[in-house]
């Protein structure tokens, strides 16, 4: 293995998943300006992650929806609005068809 291409600045770093309230200490070359005091009393660089093994559905075995911007709610609202619009148009078409049949019957009876 080439030694010249391997990183040499491995150090202990804390990775924190804030949504799952989960953090772990490991060795890494990840850079960070923030630090955190760990349970052993030492201060380590802190790297915040959005998803970890504590919050990822593949590792937890359950599906969690992390909706930070209301995307799911907006999608459900659009879906509900589209369904009601489809129903309204369907009812309007049925009503127009019935009126056309009545009009045709009136003209046939004349």
pLDDT tens sequence across 73-94:
888 899 999 999 999 999 999 9
Tokens matching residue 39: 């349970």
Give me the pLDDT at residue 44, please: 95
Contact 68, 55 (CB under 8 A): no
Please state, in angstroms and rounded to a whole number, the distance separating the CA atoms of residues 11 and 26: 8
Intervals of the chain under pLDDT 50? none
Give me the pLDDT at residue 55, please: 75
Contact 35, 43 (CB under 8 A): yes
Give me the pLDDT at residue 41, please: 93
Assessment of whether the complete model's pTM goes beyond 0.85: no
Please state, in angstroms and rounded to a whole number, the distance separating the CA atoms of residues 95 and 85: 15
Q: Which alpha helices (DSSP H) does the chain contain, by range?
A: 57-60, 71-109
Give me the pLDDT at residue 60, please: 57
Q: 84 CB contacts (<8 Å, ≥6 apart)?
A: none
Contact 19, 50 (CB under 8 A): yes
Give me the pLDDT at residue 36, please: 93
Give me the pLDDT at residue 53, please: 76
Residues paired with 35 in a beta bridge: 45
Do strands 35-37 and 22-28 pair parallel, antiparallel, or not at all (unpaired)? Answer: unpaired
Give me the pLDDT at residue 16, please: 92
Q: Which residue carries 């955190």 as its tokens? A: 36
């Amino acid at each position: 293995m080439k030694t010249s291409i391997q990183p040499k600045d491995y150090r202990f770093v804390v990775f924190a998943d804030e949504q799952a309230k989960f953090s772990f200490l490991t060795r890494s070359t990840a850079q960070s300006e923030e630090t955190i005091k760990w349970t052993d009393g030492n201060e380590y660089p802190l790297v915040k992650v959005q998803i970890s093994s504590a919050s990822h559905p593949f590792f937890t075995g359950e599906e969690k929806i992390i909706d930070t911007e209301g995307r799911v709610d907006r999608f459900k609202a659009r879906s509900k609005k589209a369904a009601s619009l489809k129903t309204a148009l369907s009812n309007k078409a049925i009503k127009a068809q019935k009126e056309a049949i009545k009009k045709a019957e009136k003209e046939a009876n004349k």
